[in-house]
Chains A and B, each alone.
Chain A
Amino acid sequence: MIERSLRLLALFVGAALWLCAGPNAHAQAAQQGRIPVKLVAGRLVARCDVSTEVRRIPVNLFVEYDNPCGLELHNRAADPLKTELPDGSQRTITIHFQGGEMFVPGRELGDEDELEAFTKWYSTELGDNAVVGTIGAAVLANYHLVFDLGAGAIEYGPPLARSAEHVVAPSGGASVPVSIKNEMVWLPVLLDDGVPRTMALGTSRYDTIVDEDFCELRGHPAGDIGSARIGDCDLSDYVALRPAPVPFTHRDGALGVLGSGLLQKLRVEVDRANRWVTITPVAEPELPVADRAFFEALVSEDSEQVLAYLDAYPESRCAAEAADLLLDQLVAEGFEDEQLDDALTWIDRTCQPDLRATAALERMKELLGLGLTAAAVRAGELGVEGGRDDRYPDAVHQLHAQLGTILLDAGESREAWKHLLSAAFGLPEDGMVNLQLGRFYEQEGRYRRAFSRYVQAVIQPESSPRAMEGLVRLQAVMNPDEALSIDLIERLIAGKVEGFGAATKYEFTPETDTNRVVLIEHLTNAHEEFANGGALALEGVLDHFERDNVAVISFHMSTPQPDPLHNAAARRADLLHDAQESVFVVNGRARVPGRARTRQKEEVYGALRSAVIAELRRPSDYELQVDAHVKDGVVSGEVVVEGPEAAGIKLELWLVERGVLFPGKSKVVIHRMVVRDALLDSVRGETLAIGADGKMTRSFSRSLADVRSANEAYLLQRQAEKSELIELVSTAIDPGQVSVVAVLRRSFTGEVMQARYVEAPREDAE
């Protein structure tokens, strides 16, 4: 398909592409206006609207003058704006501020995870709108700017005319020439040694950073390198310089980057056209004692020093970071219980009041991973105390769920029950909460309640296997005359899981009323994301067509990860059909994608139905008769093929379980028509051999227990060979769910010549 390649020098392509995009590429016309900004958790955020000719939406955007990007926009914001046209070109995006606009010819894609996490943690401070992107230097480079963060704004206007005259430096300020590199403005800085260096003007972080390697070389790893003057303005009078990596270079030495914390105290006017910056102090110098102490504690790698900092400055800006650092250090080095308790208390104390439960939940899981169960309980209890005020109401319920589980395992049943009930109040469908409540009620002998909880739990992937065990136990106690079957479970969970039934039964036309039995092979996986849409569509097809006309067999593939319904038969089907993801193969000829979201089930159903109807129009030269039954745990019977002898055709005979309970990540709870094994000697089938009587007859007999053993052995072997972890659940075959499907297939093409489905009735009282 690819016809040729071209080689072009970066001068031609690169200059136009990635490497040297100039500021003019990012804005069409420089207007003027005011960008209202505020600092949220040290990040500079602008509240504005963004629009295209399609739509206008209110948003928050980071403002990062030291980020050489243009306008980065999250896909979720770009989508309603329809920023991209079908031919790949982009619509012009307008950023609307107070009294002005900026025009950007297109958006870029930034770090979406960072945007989402920030919005989650600071939703209250941000107001109604999420942070969906970043305005970078490549956009702002087109304007004359005044950073007046103390007044909560950045003023912007068209570039000034070229001029040789410059503003006189304000008292205690600066009026200095600057250089431009990588779209950023670099200011000359003099340290005590008199060697000229440069710092970039930045707004992407609160702290003003100074190169950590430089600090270490100077013997001041904490960043206390003395005065750092821009003109008459000594930065060290206003902020403590924070040692950090400086990811830039500059011919005069990239010493660091100014932060937004400093810009709250200085008014900075950037006359980019004349390469000039004027700095005016707007706040009295104030020695940043607390910050300095924190940076010293930070580089000390000494938990005692961090603790001393917290004791001295418990309300400081860096207290929360220090508390987290304290836990870092204790975990890294090992600790006494008392020290850990201190760290957890500090973390809780320095957390935002309305995020205590949310933070505690993360901490609790982390502590459990560290093997610190008692500490996890302590963190959870601290979180519960703040649960009522938490901005995420679910957090406290999840804390109760975790606490209840820990306490139940520890034998503190009554206390556990209280937590679990609180959890269930907010998370009624949570599998693990219902499972643990089931365990509690079962321990208490309250079987009816326990049964109800287990039913709730059995449909969730995380709790299903243990809930199933509970149901089996309780069924034996509560109703010993009726074994737990898939039919019973299906009745119990009816309405709790999504289903899909066809509105009508298929009505034959003269063209489709043939002897053809169409075979649908469903290749799927219980852990495949979006396999649910296909599985629901299959339920619709099973409902719409009779089994006399449509036979269905389902193979569970090994990707994305093997589930316990995978077996040697499925591996053979995978090799035959080369399925990369869930798919339906109709008569070995047509393929219908089976990977679809739940809401797309009707589309898949429609496509599958059409493919089946097309195949029904093709009469077959063959007839298949199958007789099967189950007795004493053995499925046996006979298959008869009638039709012309022909080379290259094979007879396959599949043992199928009509419904298997195994909730996986796909959210499919009951898997339909699962192939458990071949009933002939090989999964490849047996070569067609029509006898003198015009028939081929084969009998079969297979113990269901043997099939289970063979499948488990296959999974264990695979687990050992590939270091995979496969849980051996749902491998037992319910004798009441057994069916047999016979298939005649052309080996070379995979085309199905004829199929037949029969149920195998039980002929015993087992």
Chain B
Amino acid sequence: MLYLSFCLVCTSIATGTPESAPPTVDAAVAGPTPEAVAGRYKVYRNWEFTLPQERWTPVGEGLAFEGFGSGSFRAALDGTALLLDTDGDGETDLRIAAEDTKDGKTPLVVFHDADSDLRRAVRVGDRGGWHYAPAGAVTASWHGTTVKVIDQNGDGRFDGIGEDALVVGRGESACYLSEAINVAGDLFRLEVAADGSELRFSPYDGEVGVLDVHGGYKTEAKLGRVVVRDTKGRYSFDLGKATEGLRVPAADYRLEDAVVVLGKGSVEVQRGKLPAMHVAKDARYELDWGGPLEATFDYARVDGQLRFDPLAVWYTGRGGERYTGWNPRGSSPKFVVKDKQTGDVLVDAVFPGSC
């Protein structure tokens, strides 16, 4: 059970942004020459990253990676096992038994380019057919902060703005790959070479505001990650650690996903009816959301019984955001049926502990 004791008292609405200020789209890059930093590819044995939109791509007839001279890496089946060519010579090098993917296991596979020392890593899983997902990232250090870029969409490239994933700083929480990143309070433009060999940084010279998702969030738990993306898909940030707000390009942002944690418990937050966050130039936008939650549920009358479905209970936050995926599932809500006239409790019910 996750005890997210949301504050039940509404606080005053947080200060918003001036309504008159329309979102400003900055001009194309015309500023200083970007500074290039070599990207280093790292393989992660234990994948602990949380991606905004993790995708498991069908293995199909093989995998291909940008910048690899050896072309694609052939895949085939052998009974229920997956055969993979991992060095690009067309011959099978690795056999992964279906048994090795039981209980959600995702074996790590590293592909080596025959013409260079490049390598790429994926996790493979049998998910109604063989699929793969990234197990590595291109990393670079910028002003002492590590930047990691992950091929989230499985196209073998690292330049998918709004498609691939990005981690700025420590931790494993990724936002979408963004044209701008915030490093220690300063904004920079970011370009990534398709093959990940180079990351180019330059000062961000567009209009800037501050986005704060913590100040107006009412909870007894802790915001773990809060990924936002602008409505045009160019900028994305994880505001989970930005407890004082974060400088971001002026734009309209939407919540993409968030997680609230309390010890081992967590709950996912979806956008629901949460409005766009309008960050105007030199202004601060404080999102008003969190507790108290409103619960909505459906029930059915069947053969003189009232039936409740665990999947038909929805929790909505103050800003319109939806709470779902409570983990662990924990205790059940308690449904109380009362006599409308007397208020007497006729019956109360809970879901079984396994629901």
Q: Tell me if A748 is interfacial: C-beta within 8 Å of chain B.
A: no
Given A247-B263, A327-B45, A365 and B77 contact (CB-CB distance below 8 Å): no
Q: Tell me if A462 is interfacial: C-beta within 8 Å of chain B.
A: yes
Q: Tell me if A366 is interfacial: C-beta within 8 Å of chain B.
A: yes
Q: Are B299 and A109 in contact (CB under 8 A)?
A: no
Q: Are A13 and B295 in contact (CB under 8 A)?
A: yes
**Chain B stretch 108-151: residues in CB contact (< 8 A) with chain A:** 108-110, 112, 117, 119, 128-130
Bound form: Cα–Cα A21–B350 in Å: 14
Give B82's nearest chain A residue, CB to CB.
A725
Q: Tell me if A687 is interfacial: C-beta within 8 Å of chain B.
A: no
Interface string of B287-305 (1 = CB under 8 A from A): 0000111111111111000
**Chain B stretch 188-212: residues in CB contact (< 8 A) with chain A:** none
Bound form: Cα–Cα A561–B125 in Å: 13
Q: Tell me if A43 is interfacial: C-beta within 8 Å of chain B.
A: no
Give A728's nearest chain B residue, CB to CB.
B77
For B86, the chain A residues whose CB sits under 8 A away are: 371
Q: Are B350 and A73 in contact (CB under 8 A)?
A: no
Q: Tell me if A453 is interfacial: C-beta within 8 Å of chain B.
A: no
Binds A, one of B156-164, B249-257, B274-282, B326-334: B326-334
Binds B, one of A3-11, A154-162, A286-294, A503-511: A3-11
Q: Tell me if B33 is interfacial: C-beta within 8 Å of chain A.
A: no
For B328, the chain A residues whose CB sits under 8 A away are: 69, 72, 108-111
Interface string of A313-334 (1 = CB under 8 A from B): 0000000000000011001111
Q: Tell me if A461 is interfacial: C-beta within 8 Å of chain B.
A: yes
Q: Are B350 and A88 in contact (CB under 8 A)?
A: yes
Given A182-B3, A461-B80, A724 and B129 contact (CB-CB distance below 8 Å): yes
Binds A, one of B20-28, B91-99, B175-183, B230-238: B91-99
Bound form: Cα–Cα A83–B76 in Å: 47
**Chain A stretch 694-708: residues in CB contact (< 8 A) with chain B:** none
Binds B, one of A269-277, A444-452, A463-471, A576-584: A463-471
A89 to chain B, nearest CB (A): 6
Q: Are A369 and B80 in contact (CB under 8 A)?
A: no
Given A14-B292, A247-B263, A248-B263, A68 and B128 contact (CB-CB distance below 8 Å): no
Q: Are A108 and B353 in contact (CB under 8 A)?
A: yes
**Chain A stretch 486-542: residues in CB contact (< 8 A) with chain B:** 527
Bound form: Cα–Cα A663–B80 in Å: 9
Give B330's nearest chain A residue, CB to CB.
A108
Q: Are A665 and B3 in contact (CB under 8 A)?
A: no
Given A89-B349, A249-B221, A332-B42, A66 and B263 contact (CB-CB distance below 8 Å): yes
Interface string of A238-260 (1 = CB under 8 A from B): 00000001011100001000000
Contact of A19 among B5, B40, B96 (CB under 8 A): B5
Bound form: Cα–Cα A213–B170 in Å: 9
Interface string of A392-404 (1 = CB under 8 A from B): 0000000000000
For B220, the chain A residues whose CB sits under 8 A away are: 181-182, 249
Bound form: Cα–Cα A368–B93 in Å: 9
Q: Tell me if A478 is interfacial: C-beta within 8 Å of chain B.
A: no
Q: Tell me if A722 is interfacial: C-beta within 8 Å of chain B.
A: yes
**Chain B stretch 216-231: residues in CB contact (< 8 A) with chain A:** 219-222, 224
Given A13-B295, A68-B3, A366-B108, A204 and B264 contact (CB-CB distance below 8 Å): yes
Bound form: Cα–Cα A462–B100 in Å: 11
Q: Tell me if B103 is interfacial: C-beta within 8 Å of chain A.
A: yes
Q: Tell me if A385 is interfacial: C-beta within 8 Å of chain B.
A: no
Given A212-B170, A249-B222, A665-B80, A18 and B326 contact (CB-CB distance below 8 Å): yes
Q: Tell me if A232 is interfacial: C-beta within 8 Å of chain B.
A: no
Q: Which of B1, B79, B293 has the most CB of A within 10 A?
A: B79
Interface string of A60-87 (1 = CB under 8 A from B): 0000101111101101001000011001
Contact of B96 among A182, A369, A664 (CB under 8 A): A369
Q: Tell me if A339 is interfacial: C-beta within 8 Å of chain B.
A: no
Q: Tell me if A2 is interfacial: C-beta within 8 Å of chain B.
A: yes
Q: Are A368 and B5 in contact (CB under 8 A)?
A: no
Q: Are A332 and B43 in contact (CB under 8 A)?
A: yes
Interface string of B13-44 (1 = CB under 8 A from A): 00000000000000000000000000010111
Q: Are B42 and A68 in contact (CB under 8 A)?
A: no
Q: Tell me if A179 is interfacial: C-beta within 8 Å of chain B.
A: no
Bound form: Cα–Cα A365–B108 in Å: 9
Contact of A1 among B1, B42, B87, B300 (CB under 8 A): B300
Give B293's nearest chain A residue, CB to CB.
A10
For A88, the chain B residues whose CB sits under 8 A away are: 332, 349-352
Bound form: Cα–Cα A719–B60 in Å: 7
Size of B's binding interface in residues, CB under 8 A: 89
Q: Are A7 and B294 in contact (CB under 8 A)?
A: yes
Given A2-B298, A78-B353, A664-B80, A369 and B94 contact (CB-CB distance below 8 Å): yes
Contact of B8 among A11, A87, A106, A724 (CB under 8 A): A11
Q: Are B350 and A2 in contact (CB under 8 A)?
A: no
For A83, the chain B residues whose CB sits under 8 A away are: 353
Q: Are A10 and B43 in contact (CB under 8 A)?
A: no
Q: Tell me if B58 is interfacial: C-beta within 8 Å of chain A.
A: yes
Q: Tell me if A296 is interfacial: C-beta within 8 Å of chain B.
A: no
Q: Are B1 and A138 in contact (CB under 8 A)?
A: yes
Interface string of A720-762 (1 = CB under 8 A from B): 1011111100000000000000000000000000000000000
For A365, the chain B residues whose CB sits under 8 A away are: 100, 107
For B336, the chain A residues whose CB sits under 8 A away are: 16
Bound form: Cα–Cα A702–B87 in Å: 44
B256 to chain A, nearest CB (A): 21
Q: Are B353 and A328 in contact (CB under 8 A)?
A: no
Given A106-B331, A719-B60, A70 and B294 contact (CB-CB distance below 8 Å): no
Given A68-B1, A89-B350, A725-B76, A331 and B45 contact (CB-CB distance below 8 Å): yes
For B5, the chain A residues whose CB sits under 8 A away are: 19-20, 182
Q: Tell me if A31 is interfacial: C-beta within 8 Å of chain B.
A: no
Bound form: Cα–Cα A16–B326 in Å: 17
For A371, the chain B residues whose CB sits under 8 A away are: 86-87, 93-94, 110, 112
Contact of B45 among A182, A328, A464 (CB under 8 A): A328
Give A213's nearest chain B residue, CB to CB.
B241
Q: Are A719 and B1 in contact (CB under 8 A)?
A: no
Q: Are A332 and B96 in contact (CB under 8 A)?
A: no
Contact of B3 among A19, A333, A431, A720 (CB under 8 A): A19
Bound form: Cα–Cα A162–B301 in Å: 49
For A108, the chain B residues whose CB sits under 8 A away are: 1, 328-331, 353
Q: Tell me if A559 is interfacial: C-beta within 8 Å of chain B.
A: yes
Q: Are A107 and B79 in contact (CB under 8 A)?
A: no
Q: Which of A84, A247, A460, A559 has the most CB of B within 10 A?
A: A247
Contact of A16 among B46, B110, B333 (CB under 8 A): B333
Q: Tell me if B75 is interfacial: C-beta within 8 Å of chain A.
A: yes
Q: Tell me if B67 is interfacial: C-beta within 8 Å of chain A.
A: no
Given A2-B299, A332-B44, A10 and B292 contact (CB-CB distance below 8 Å): yes
Q: Tell me if A370 is interfacial: C-beta within 8 Å of chain B.
A: yes
For B4, the chain A residues whose CB sits under 8 A away are: 18-19
6 interchain residue pairs of minimum CB distance:
A723-B60, A17-B333, A727-B77, A723-B58, A84-B352, A561-B129
A-B contact pairs, 29 of them (CB 8 A): A1-B302, A3-B301, A4-B299, A5-B296, A6-B297, A10-B293, A18-B315, A68-B265, A88-B352, A106-B331, A106-B350, A108-B1, A109-B353, A111-B264, A113-B103, A183-B3, A204-B264, A216-B170, A365-B107, A369-B107, A370-B108, A559-B128, A560-B128, A665-B80, A723-B59, A724-B58, A725-B75, A725-B77, A727-B78
A interface residues with partner B (beta carbon < 8 Å): 1-11, 13-21, 25, 64, 66-70, 72-73, 75, 78, 83-84, 87-90, 106-111, 113, 138, 181-184, 204, 212-213, 216, 245, 247-249, 254, 327-328, 331-334, 365-366, 368-371, 431-432, 460-466, 527, 559-562, 663-665, 719-720, 722-727
17 further A-B pairs in the complex, CB-CB below 8 A; given A249-B222, A725-B75: A8-B294, A16-B333, A18-B4, A67-B263, A68-B3, A69-B265, A69-B330, A72-B328, A78-B354, A89-B349, A109-B329, A111-B264, A365-B100, A370-B108, A464-B79, A465-B78, A665-B80
